[in-house]
Amino acid sequence: MEDKILKYEIIAETSSLNSSIGTNDVSNPSSEKSIRTCDECGSKYYESTSQMASLCPECAYVLYGYDNCDHTFLNGRCIKCFWDGTHSKYIKKIKKEWKKALKKERKEELKKERKSEKKN
Ligand SMILES: [Zn+2]
Ligand SMILES: [Zn+2]
């Protein structure tokens, strides 16, 4: 009888060892990525890709200047950060202003170039 109990214990030990090795397997990191929801745009994103606790990389970049994800879209989602391309109204507004500012800068640069051309 004692032998049987010992055998069971060994089986239980090895099986628990195997399962702990399975969860620590690094070859499949996608299963360990925790998905969060962005407070600003409502899109889902991988927690590990954003430096903000509750913002996707895109919103963290627009609102706070953090490094943005180099988005690579596949089937409507970024395969790197899981962002789905959603923009909140506020983010849209900020981006519009950026474009305007960029256009203004370019126009002023062109004006300067024209002026210097005339002088020459
Ligand atoms: Zn967002
Ligand atoms: Zn991305």
pLDDT digits (tens, 9 = 90+) for 46-90: 999 999 999 999 999 999 999 999 999 999 999 999 999 999 999
Q: How far is the CA of 44 from the centre of ligand 1 (A)?
A: 8
- CB within 5 A of ion ligand 1: which residues? 38, 40-41, 56, 59
Q: How far is the CA of 26 from the centre of ligand 1 (A)?
A: 28
Cα gap 93→31, rounded to integer Å: 35
Nearest ligand to the CA of 60 is: 1
pTM of the model as a whole:
0.65
Q: Contact, 55 vs 40, CB < 8 A?
A: yes
DSSP state of 31: G
pLDDT digits (tens, 9 = 90+) for 5-26: 555 555 555 444 444 444 444 4
Query: Which residues, in sequence order, are CB contacts of 119 under 8 Å at separation 6+?
Result: none
Q: How far is the CA of 59 from the centre of ligand 2 (A)?
A: 11
Only one residue has tokens 């409507």, namely 76
